[in-house]
Structure 1
Amino acid sequence: MTDPKSRPSLKLVLGVSALGVLAACDGGIDVADGGIRGTGDSVGPVSGFGSVYVNGVRFDTSSLNGKITSNDGIDTEAQLEKGMIVRVEGKWQDDGQGTATALEYDDTLRGTVSDVVFDERRDRLTFSIYGQEVRADTQTVFKDTKLSSLKDGDFVRVSAWLADNGYRASFIGLIDDGHEDDIEVEGSVDSFSMQTNLNSFRLKGQLVQYSSASLASSGLSEDALGDGRLLEVEGALVDGTIVARSIRPHDGARYRSSEGADTELSGPANAVNPSLGFYRVGGQLVELSADTQFAGLNAEEFGNDLLVKVEGEIREGVLVAESVERRESGAKVEAVITQVPDLSTQRLEVGGVPVLVNSSTLIADDDQEGLRMTFERLQLGDSIEVDGIEKLDAAGNVYLEAVKIERNSDDKADGDSDEPGAVTSFELEGNLIQSSMTDLQILGVTMAITENSALDDTEALLPGRVVGVQYRLLDNGSYEILEVDVDDEDDD
């Protein structure tokens, strides 16, 4: 690990995370007085097992005998991984328990990675799979690879949401024995690319060759292949052309619910016609109204490609939103666990930051078995990274509601060493709650300003600004600032 003084200055690229949107202590919304809360569909990433956790609900899958509906070589529940986006049909209750009557998974993309581009801090990247652009970040779950090590030529399966200008990855898994005679790509048919005389069309420039047999496999006709149609193509890459084995409506179309069904849906929100309250979440058209309740964000922030969970009812193909909950992390801490995790309250302290874990939190480990990681396995002194949402408890104290936790199984905190006097540094990003000449308070942690502190711009250290801090734990149990960087794009 590098010395904190020699590391590049933090360049924050956080989403909206102002003090004004900090939510109440539970961040939840009661939509019923008890009993059955919904009967319909829940679509979102798997966050846990012991049955399957989706959108904060534990769905009992015992009646399915471990079987799921999929055509991508994932036939059983045991083959699912955290972060994979699934559709659950069934019913769920206020107490977070539900019963699944059907479980469905489908890869969004499967194939060879190209055009990998990292951002400055290497915690966000974009890449392509056969012309389709994919975005990944620290909320993405990786299997047998990492955000920092994904490279051109890797063969992966991707579970992702349809978003503006491509896809946002929820899960990326490396397939060691993957080969291009079994690939999958989704996208919209390029304008004027249909050539029925040649049985071909293009998806973002990628040439696709089809046959009557590949259309018949899903009951499509050539009329369904028109300009702009969103399709899923499976087949083989032959001399740069995808030879289709099957062609179906794209993943989002299969996730849409039936008329009148209760629906829970997670995904990035994008504006369609905000003046009329219409947006899309993962490809599903969503309508907001004056009765829509918000948790962790407000109506003005909705539609900025933020990850959200929407609950409501399908009416004429539109999900009429009763509630919208923020699922986009706006703060983070990378440090060691500094207090023994409390199993009864699902709380822990990470580098002094109070952290709350709930049934929606995705917990992973960066080793080979990391996606079966649980809260119970976290221990005092473990080095972990928490992406989460800043919230306030009933007493007005700030804490971090964890969206994703990843334990670094091999790494120690920066500077960890058995040598006497070694510096152990942590990192956090969040809203500046309080500032003075002697200390700063961020994410509930008070950190002292000393002669060792490198401050980027003291005049910019105003409450409400988003800042990044490198800091360390002293022998007396207090925290000392090593470096502070202010988000240049924060206008508050």
Structure 2
Amino acid sequence: MTDMKIFPILFTTLILSGCGGGETQTADGGIGGTGVAWGRVTGFGSIYLNDIKYETTTTSYQFEEPTRVDQSDLKVGMVVRITGNNDGVNGEAETVEYADLLEGTVSGNDIAGSSSLTVMGQTVIVDLDTIYDDGGTGILLADLAIDAVIEVSGFSDGLGVIYATRIEVKSAAWGGEELEVKGIVQNLNTIAFTFEIGGLTVDWSTTASLPDGNPVEGQYVEAKGDSFNGATFVADEVETEGDGDLEWAEDGEELEIEGIVTTDFDDITNQFTLNGQTVQITASTEFEDGNTGDILAGKPLEVEGTMDGALLIASEIEFGTDSADKLEVEDTVASVDLDAGSFTTVLSGQTFVTTTSTIFIDELTNDQFFSLASLNSGDSVDVNYVDEGGGTLTATKVERE
């Protein structure tokens, strides 16, 4: 059975999670007209984002890989871009787009220490919310060997650090298949025909075609190839990703984006970056579960606002739960209360509340539609949760084993 130990799957709906753990913030007016939402997939069916239900009957799906064609090819933990509209309660998803950040070989594994991998010069950070799919190899995340090939989805500013939301093993050892990496062009050398993405040197001297012209310093690109010696990646293709920047929507579009703070809040400019996107705070920006002093690199946030040129003007900012505050327990289900949306366990006697962001995964029978209603007394479960205080324990993941 595929090992997906860290973050669960809920297939009854397709949900873009909020930051998890705290209260759910709902936009007052919704998106008037077309807007954009970025976040991680937590289940399949209709699309729920901040308590808004997006219908998907006419949705089109876009993937980089030609073998992926529709919603059945989406996986829990993938970070996707949804274009659609809503009235604050209901909406329609026009498009759902997915593209990974990295498909490369492991060169270092420090999961037991720093909870990170090194993959083609990129530092891949994992936590309790990261889904690990062993791809049927039976290899545990902590046991991934050097030269294993993995696909990574997550949040990044393109400068060499990825906060992984999903890691999938493609093969236990690299066999010469095509690899790919996305990031910001740094230290461009037009004489040697090299540049760097994070700690990876990319050699584009033998590139057959550059559809977007020569790489430019600071440009966001994707490099593909099948020649890598552990230090230098010889690219067969280098192309600009999107407009070559890390602006997650176009001027004038409403945007809701989940991610990780990549630069601290600057109290002079009143700006910070989230996944590399510059966010502008104004006097009318509303905050939930934090303030500007809490906007620090590595913190999980969700921001709603409107694009003004290259800036995201924030209307609402919701703070997520730090990895250090997430807890885990293995126990047996004593009872389930569907009306309250909760369940109680035997050994701890604790009651866990579930929300629309809670993810369910069934390792016991591999039930794709596993949910709270599927839980039975006596089921063994692994629960990730957040202690909200006042006796409230909110489950972020429920895995039946």
TM range (shorter): 0.7 to 0.9
TM-score normalised according to structure 1 size: 0.66
Q: CA RMSD in A?
A: 3.1
Write the letter of the residue equivalent to 1:270: T
1:295 corresponding residue in structure 2: 288
Matched, 1:40 2:35: yes
Moved over 6 A (4+): none
The 5 Å alignment of 1:6-405 reads: 27-32=23-28, 39-54=34-49, 57-64=52-59, 67-71=61-65, 73-95=67-89, 97-120=90-113, 125-144=115-134, 146-162=140-156, 166-176=161-171, 179-191=175-187, 193-194=188-189, 196-203=190-197, 204-211=199-206, 213-216=208-211, 220-222=212-214, 224-226=215-217, 228-239=218-229, 241-250=232-241, 253=245, 256-275=248-267, 276-329=269-322, 330-350=325-345, 351-366=348-363, 369=366, 373-391=370-388, 397-403=390-396, 405=397
Shift of 1:46: 0.4
Structure 1: distance between partners of 2:260 and 2:367: 25
Residue aligned with 2:180, SS: strand
Paired with 1:165 and 1:199, the residues of 2 have a C-alpha distance of 20
Distance 1:253 1:341 in 2: 48
1:114 aligned partner, one-letter code: S
Q: Secondary structure at the match of 1:325?
A: strand
* CA drift at 1:111: 1.6
CA distance in 2, matches of 1:190, 1:286: 23
Kindly provide the CA deviation profile for residues 312-363 of structure 1, in whole angstroms up to 9, marking residues without a partner as x.
1111221111212233352313132444232333222343333222222233
Shift of 1:295: 2.3
Tell me the distance in 2 between the aligned counterparts of 1:284 and 1:110: 23
In the aligned structure 2, how far is the partner of 1:150 from the partner of 1:374?
A: 30
Letter aligned with residue 263 of structure 2: A
Structure 2: gaps of 5 or more residues:
1-20
Q: Decide whether aligned partners of structure 1 residues 188 and 316 sit closer, same or farther in structure 2, where only a CA change above 3 A counts.
A: closer
Structure 1, unaligned runs of 5 or more: 1-24, 410-492
Secondary structure of the corresponding residue to residue 344 of structure 1: coil
Letter in 2 for 1:313: T
Relative distance call for 1:229 and 1:61 in structure 2 (3 A) is same
Query: What secondary structure does 2:77 align onto?
Result: coil
- Please give the secondary structure, in 1, of the residue aligned with 2:126: strand
Matched residues, number? 367
1:87/1:147 CA distance change after superposition, 3 Å: same
Deviations 1:80-99 (A, max 9, x none): 1111000000113433x431
Alpha-carbon displacement from aligned partner over 1:125-165 (angstroms, at most 9, x marks no partner): 21111111111111101112544443333211100211586
Q: 1:54 to 1:353 in 2, by over 3 A?
A: same
SS at match of 2:293: coil
Provide closer, same or farther for how the CA distance between residues 28 and 54 of structure 1 changes in structure 2, counting only shifts above 3 A: closer
Residues 36 and 207 of structure 1, relative CA distance in 2, 3 Å threshold: closer
Q: Percent same amino acid at aligned positions?
A: 24
Q: For the structure 1 residues 71 and 112, does the alpha-carbon distance in structure 2 shift closer, same or farther, using more than 3 Å as the test?
A: same
